[in-house]
Amino acid sequence: MTTNIFAFVVVLGILIFFHELGHFLVARLFGVGVEKFSLGFGPRLFGRTVGITDYRISAIPLGGYVKMVGDEPDAELDAELIPYSFTHKHVFKKIMIVAAGPFFNLLLAVIIYTGFFTIIGTEDVRPVVNHVVAESPAAGVGLQPGDRVAAVNGETVAAWGDINRLIAEGGGDAVRITVNRDGNFFDVTVTPQTKMAKDILGDDAPYYDVGFSGLAPLKAVVGEVADGYPAKKAGMKKGDLIVSINDRAVDSWNTMKTIISQSKGDPLAVRVVRNGETLAVEIVPVLFSEENLLGEKVDSYRIGISSPGIDIPDADRITIKRGFFQALLEGVDQTYQISRLTLLSIGKLIKGTVSTKTLGGPIMIAEMAGQQAKAGLTNLVFFIAVLSINLAVLNFLPIPVLDGGHLMFFFIEAVIRRPINVRMREIAQQAGIFILIMLMIFVFYNDITRIFAS
């Protein structure tokens, strides 16, 4: 619990600091006076006043704000303060000041990703073919285990991730692969097979499969056996190698999983190898229902075993570090992709295709922050990046009270060339506050329900 609270305060503090720093710096750039720069709401705990700005830490660490001179349209100002008033600045300057907050949250994510790609790098697998699927495009052109992929479409590759990226960029078109086999270089042209899979949001997404891999297929070796499931009752043990089901050879974990999922609950004759001895057992899969990441109910047949995981030999592992500019481009792309995913998720929530049970509030964020902190500093920093992007996207939504609501008013002001009626803004702000309060109540309810459900 202590770790969760501490991690939550740290994460929220960093996110709010960058958000408010964006508002503050652009406000000062355009000559707007800043009266308060506060991390947290409520009573002032401590701080320091420099010029007219009170830099403070406040008692409630669930937000923050920048109080600018004249940021209330109907406020009366002394004549000498008008040049420093937010309200009296050109509308496009006001737009930039308001947009700077969520923009700085996106910038924080780009900084994190760029630093990670440059300094720490990403783990990958060396570009050596470890497995070729029978009757695949790769097998058709004669590729073999042990072949080293030197380039794809003329672009040198350093790791298997580069191969996947270049094939995907081809959009299913034929690709030219340069192969190094025992020091001899030659080119082959391969046309990927277009296949469909479900993305994280449950939508159909095409991918392009050549039929080779840098990893050996995961064998159907039993990792753990769950209590109360058919595999346990049939006497299966950790380390058993499943070699056939209903006389159908099992060459990988995926093959085994497919056979079980298609069984419709019919009995399965399973042959396993244990300590060099072949054993036969009969197992009847059970129907298992669970919710996926989108809160959708998913049914599948299972026997109650898990895999021991992929064991990648150290000789096959490599760490790829990018130069600054490449890392920056990848950091921007990563931030864009997560922003896009967040917007799509919001759209699916509104349409009802994603369950509102997936929404979480401060309690859920605190739990996740604590989990990431326990997993290591790298995990926590990545969590901050993702949360920062989510905060930016949500703040850009055109809801009064949020930055997006203010931007909506200012864009209207730019079109009609006069500020919106103060009374109309007040009504919209009240509606926005009501929406946010209802949303907070709902996510707190989700958090509490989730705790009792677990």
pLDDT digits 0-9 by tens, 125-175 = 999 999 898 889 999 999 999 999 999 999 999 999 999 999 998 888 999
* Separation of alpha carbons 112 and 106, rounded Å: 10
Length of the chain: 454
Question: Pairing mode, if any, of strands 268-274 and 148-152?
Answer: unpaired
pLDDT at 98: 94
Q: With contact defined as beta carbons under 8 Å apart, do 112 and 384 qualify? A: yes
Structural Rg of the chain based on CA atoms: 28
The amino acid that residue 320 corresponds to is I
Q: Above 70 in pLDDT, residue 444? A: no
* Separation of alpha carbons 342 and 345, rounded Å: 5
* Separation of alpha carbons 312 and 130, rounded Å: 11
Q: With contact defined as beta carbons under 8 Å apart, do 301 and 316 qualify? A: no
- Cα-Cα end-to-end distance for the chain: 16
* Separation of alpha carbons 222 and 215, rounded Å: 19
The strand pairing partners of 37, in sequence order, are 55, 66
pLDDT at 186: 93
Backbone angles phi, psi at 425, to 5 degrees: -65, -40
pLDDT at 229: 87
Mean pLDDT of the region 83-94: 90
pLDDT at 381: 87
Q: With contact defined as beta carbons under 8 Å apart, do 180 and 150 qualify? A: yes
* Separation of alpha carbons 113 and 122, rounded Å: 11
Mean pLDDT of the region 50-59: 89
Of 115-119, 187-191, 358-362, the one with minimum mean pLDDT is 358-362
Confidence of residue 330 (pLDDT cuts 50, 70, 90): very high
Mean pLDDT of the region 409-413: 89
Backbone angles phi, psi at 46, to 5 degrees: -160, 170
Backbone angles phi, psi at 422, to 5 degrees: -60, -40
Catalytic residue among 20, 135, 224, 367: 20
Query: Has 20 been annotated as catalytic?
Result: yes
pLDDT at 296: 59
Confidence of residue 292 (pLDDT cuts 50, 70, 90): low
Mean pLDDT of the region 234-251: 89
Mean of pLDDT over the chain: 85
pLDDT more than 70, % of the chain: 89
Helices (H), 148-245: 160-169, 230-233
Q: With contact defined as beta carbons under 8 Å apart, do 92 and 38 qualify? A: no
Q: Above 60 in pLDDT, residue 80? A: yes
Cβ neighbours of residue 221 closer than 8 Å, sequence gap 6 or more: 239, 240, 241, 242, 253, 307, 308
Strongest mean pLDDT among 336-350, 397-411, 436-450: 397-411
